[in-house]
Amino acid sequence: MVGNFQIEATDRTTRARAGKLQTAHGVIETPVFMPVGTQGTVKCMAPGELRQLPAQIILGNTYHLMIRPGLELIQKAGGLHKFMNWAGPILTDSGGFQVFSLAKLRKISERGVEFQSHVDGQTLFLGPVEAMEAQTILGSDIAMAFDECAPWPCDREYACRSVDLTIQWAARCREKGLGSRQLLFGIVQGSLFADLRERCAKELVALDFPGYAIGGVSVGEPEPEMLQQVDAAVPHLPAEKPRYVMGVGTLPQLVQMVARGIDMFDCVLPTRAARHGKVFTNTGSFSIRAAACREDFGPLEAGCECYACREFSRAYLRHLIWANEILGLRLLTWHNLHVFLNLLRRARQAIGAGEFGEFQREFIAQYTEKADYDERI
């Protein structure tokens, strides 16, 4: 049954849980990382390659797809799944985040947001009704309610208005509805104010969404404040429904979020960082541009079973990046996505085995982010 979320295991020492969410295009095993395909593509990766990783579910963005190629064309193609040749589940953001990220190009009212297109400057209006109509055309398995993401930092007055709009728009989204096999998630806002997070969560729960997201995090605030925002919302969300933290995060952050009872994650970090030569491993990150990689004929990460590590050396990949060869970007993206996806699979296994607490401690202890790189040729 579409929308059914079954919790299969819980951790004894944390809030971590392993579950299964039924969607129209398949079952999603949680906790899960969702690669970001903003414009109907995960950058540098073909759908067949994503299936090999394997990615269970990917993201698209309503605002960007409305701009290019346009909803009319996607509708003629038979929906986003057929248009991009992806047979698995898709989650679409509502475009609400663009209210935040394109702040200089928009005007907010109770009806919604008037945007100035970042592509050609044309005026576009997007509100809760329009977001539901657009996501119905896209045919995503999980659609997000239209919300307003408060910037960081912001004062309490602004955060209150943001929460008011988010709740008001969520009710309109719920009333408008989607296709019969699509799931609609509400989004908890409230910035850094715990009482606003609690209020927003409770009022969204009263609207009885199939799932709930926590938004407005990882928008520039320090990590401790990000975690506090999640802690303020989670206790007020129903345990029997999936929870999704939007736009997060680093590998250690994902593990910490799983420990807080979060089931779903997305972030551009593995793909964006790859295009800048950054490599993630289970013990930290490094730049493939570094001089130390010039004559290193080992894999990106010892023991990694991804295609890039099985077939190519650091020396070769470094050469590709310095030579501006597209293959280098693709292979680093492949590896980074593998690491992120595999981390959540390992977390799921640890929860099932009753060992997540130990898994969390060991992973955090061994992970080191390196800030400076020697990139001499």
Spot the catalytic one: 11, 141, 263, 266.
Answer: 266
- Going by C-alpha positions, the residue among 337, 336, 290 that lies closest to residue 314 is 290
Contacts of 120 (CB under 8 A, 6+ apart): none
- The maximal CA–CA distance of the chain, rounded, in angstroms, is 61
Joined tokens for residue 375: 């990139």
Identify whether 120 is a catalytic site residue.
no
For 88-124, the three-class secondary structure string (H helix, E strand, C coil) is CCEEEECCHHHHHHCHHHEEECCCCEEEECCCCCCEE
- Going by C-alpha positions, the residue among 134, 188, 198, 135 that lies closest to residue 162 is 188
CA distances from 226 to 152, 196, 214 (A): 11, 15, 11
Joined tokens for residue 154: 């912001």
Query: H or E stretch including 183?
Result: strand 183-188
Contacts of 324 (CB under 8 A, 6+ apart): none
Strands 17-23 and 5-10: antiparallel
Contacts of 292 (CB under 8 A, 6+ apart): 374
Helix (H, G, I), strand (E, B) or coil at 353: coil
Residue 145 DSSP label: P
Distance between CA atoms of 248 and 29, rounded to whole angstroms? 18
For the four alpha carbons of 329, 334, 335 and 337, in that order, the dihedral sign comes to positive
Phi and psi torsions of 198, nearest 5°: -65, -45
Identify whether 93 is a catalytic site residue.
yes
Question: Contact, 29 vs 348, CB < 8 A?
Answer: yes
Spot the catalytic one: 93, 141, 147, 263.
Answer: 93
- Active-site residue set: 93, 266
